[in-house]
Structure 1
Amino acid sequence: MPRPLNLGKVSAASLANLLPTGTVLAAEALLPSFTNSGDCAPANKYLTLGVIVCCSLACFLSSFTDSFTGKDGRIYYGIAIWKDFWVFNDVDNEDGAGREEKHNREKLAITSIDFVHAFTSLTVFLVFAMSDSNVQQCLKINKDGVNEKALLINLPLGAWLLASLLFMLFPTTRKGIGYADTAPVKFDQGGEATARSNKESV
């Protein structure tokens, strides 16, 4: 018998982590200067496109980041790859606490849900970036028609709501970089993933 869908798994705090809030804020802080408030020279166009591309990559890849607690009690951050998990901060990789826990790290490998979250976050960010008036003027995006104006005004809100719905329908257990209010996965002696209490954070 299939399990009932639990929409309560994704709280408001979780949505703030899943949605590209930080990336949007970073872009909003940089774009007015890089676009020269819409009065773009060729250099401004390249800078604007560079910001959008870099933020898009950060937004997409952040959906694959995760963390776990090693045998030494430290929190290890990394990114999911094919059938494995690449750890960022395992300086002492001879202690068996990070890179050597291969049978555990395989549990954090890429899944199909990761791609749903990654493409959804990327779409939301691009919608917000292209809805910025300075970006529209700089990249000569046509917004003269009534339909175009209505679409550009309402599309960001619609994208945000649709993304929130998708994140609730397809929740993720990843607790990557930026998840300050949640604890990473802890592996017990048998290699099973268990919840990690906030008191164990280091």
Structure 2
Amino acid sequence: MAEPSLAPQNHGVNRPVHHTLASAANLANLLPTGTTLAFQTFAPSFSNNGLCHLSNRYLTAILTFVCAAFCFLSSFTDTFVDGTGKLHYGIATFRGLYIFNFDERDRDRYEKKELKRFRLRFVDFVHAFVSLMLFLIFALSDSNVQSCYFSQVGSDWNSLFMNLPMGAGALSTFLFTIFPTTRRGIGYADITAHRV
């Protein structure tokens, strides 16, 4: 008697599921997880664990601004692998992709029309603003930031600060899944899709 096969059977049904799971796996790159982690690392010391003096308020505001700017701008970054296997990093502009790590030899190899397909689109701005708003919600919900800036608010505001990140995270995940982007930003796990 033959042993039953444990290998998964592929009858074409798993294709939509695979696409959905691949999109969900890349949400960590779309959501501002790295920026939020950096903010949560520095916020306790910058805010003096919520016991803010004037200098701590300025430091926390500067940290929030820098992380928010990085979160916004990282939505416009992209990467591609050229024909030689070299990985290039750049930022999207209205004319195409501005490459950070081009050598002069590389610059002659690519025509502008090849990099024009990476130009800015409307969905890039949607992703940038959603990521920015999501980061600001998480930053303002941090207990040290709340103690520093919102120490006098009542229980209604505390309840809002507690529940807002979960709702905003679910909404942004839904929006990123419904309106996917083709950007493969710096640090993106799946860079093989862009080849020039």
Q: 2:98 aligns with which of 86, 90, 106?
A: 86
| Alpha-carbon distance in structure 2 between the residues aligned to 1:16 and 1:114 | 16
Q: Which residue of 1 aligns with 2:5?
A: none
Structure 2 portions without partners, runs of 5+: 1-15
Change in Cα spacing, 1:19 to 1:168, as seen in structure 2 (3 Å) is same
Q: Deviations over 1:39-70 (max 9, x none)?
A: 11111111101110000011001110111122
Q: Which residue of 1 aligns with 2:153?
A: 143
Q: Which residue of 1 aligns with 2:11?
A: none
Contact 2:24 2:177 in 1 (8 A): no
| Alpha-carbon distance in structure 1 between the residues aligned to 2:120 and 2:114 | 14
Question: Which of the two has higher C-alpha Rg?
Answer: 2
Q: Which residue of 2 aligns with 1:101?
A: 111
Secondary structure of the residue that 1:47 maps to in structure 2?
A: helix
Larger % of helix: which?
Answer: 2
| Equivalent residue runs for 1:34-183 within 5 Å | 34-90=46-102, 92-96=103-107, 100-140=110-150, 142-144=152-154, 146-183=155-192
| Alpha-carbon distance in structure 2 between the residues aligned to 1:56 and 1:121 | 9
Q: 1:32 aligns with which of 40, 44, 51?
A: 44
Contact 1:68 1:186 in 2 (8 A): yes
- In the TM superposition, residue 94 of structure 1 has moved relative to its aligned partner by 2.6
Counting aligned pairs with the same residue, the percent is: 47
Contact 2:50 2:145 in 1 (8 A): yes
| Alpha-carbon distance in structure 1 between the residues aligned to 2:138 and 2:29 | 17
What TM-score results when the alignment is normalised by the length of structure 1? 0.82
| Alpha-carbon distance in structure 1 between the residues aligned to 2:53 and 2:108 | 51
- In the TM superposition, residue 167 of structure 1 has moved relative to its aligned partner by 0.2
Secondary structure of the residue that 2:88 maps to in structure 1?
A: strand
- In the TM superposition, residue 30 of structure 1 has moved relative to its aligned partner by 0.3
- In the TM superposition, residue 141 of structure 1 has moved relative to its aligned partner by 5.5
- In the TM superposition, residue 142 of structure 1 has moved relative to its aligned partner by 4.5
- In the TM superposition, residue 38 of structure 1 has moved relative to its aligned partner by 0.8
Secondary structure of the residue that 1:76 maps to in structure 2?
A: strand
Change in Cα spacing, 1:33 to 1:17, as seen in structure 2 (3 Å) is same
Q: Deviations over 1:135-182 (max 9, x none)?
A: 0121235431x3212211100000000000000110011111111244
Contact 2:80 2:195 in 1 (8 A): yes
Contact 1:69 1:186 in 2 (8 A): yes
Amino acid aligned to 2:98:
W
Secondary structure of the residue that 2:36 maps to in structure 1?
A: helix
Contact 1:19 1:121 in 2 (8 A): yes
